[in-house]
Structure formats: structure tokens, C-alpha cells
Amino acid sequence: MKRYRHPHIELTEEMNSSPPPDDAGDTFRFIEQIVEKKLSPLQRDILCRREYQHQSIHEIASALGMKEPAVRMNLSRARKTIRETYNRIEQ
């Protein structure tokens, strides 16, 4: 699985000491930092399989030995964490 590490943008525990990104590349790298720091390994794996490898929920569930609703819930929680963390930084 791909590791999400980008030293260009530092993501701290307080989450408010980093400036918000100012272009699309910075935004992408910043979101990758959120993924690395705030999601569980399972959530990162599911998100990577869905967004980068374009696997279906069924394929992910089969590969990980999970039920489809559990995959959907983990994916939903991962996206919510990313969204809420990013929005806190932008304010």
C-alpha cells in the first residue's frame, strides 16, 4: 500500500499551526498528510483501494474479508475525517 508522506506540508497534532494550502498541488499534498496522520491503517487501505485503484465496494470487501456495509462505513468515516480536518484548517 502507498505511504502518504510529503515533507512540504507539516501536519501537527493541533492542526491549526499549518497554513491552508494555496493551490491544487498543495491541497492534494495536504490531504495526503491528513490521510496519513488521522486515518487508521484500515481506513487508509480502503480509501486507497477505492480512490486510487478504483476497486468496487464488493472487491474491497472480498479482498479484506469484510462485509460490504463495514467497508462502506469505514470509507464514509474516513472521508468525514478528511473533510472535517481540512475544514478546520481552512477557517
Distance separating alpha carbons of residues 61 and 70, to the nearest angstrom: 8
User: pLDDT value at position 16?
Assistant: 43
Among the listed ranges 2-6, 23-27, 59-63, 87-91, which one has the minimum average pLDDT value? Answer: 2-6
In the chain, where the domains are located:
24-90
User: pLDDT value at position 83?
Assistant: 93
User: Which one, of 15, 32, 36, 39, lies nearest residue 90 by Cα?
Assistant: 15
Our CA angle for 35, 28, 65, nearest 5°, is 35
Contact between 4 and 44 (Cβ < 8 Å): yes
Contact between 74 and 46 (Cβ < 8 Å): yes
What phi, psi does 47 have (nearest 5°)?
-60, -45
Q: For 24-90, CATH number?
A: 1.10.10.10
Residue range 18-66, pLDDT digits in tens: 545 567 888 888 889 999 999 999 999 999 999 999 999 999 999 999 9
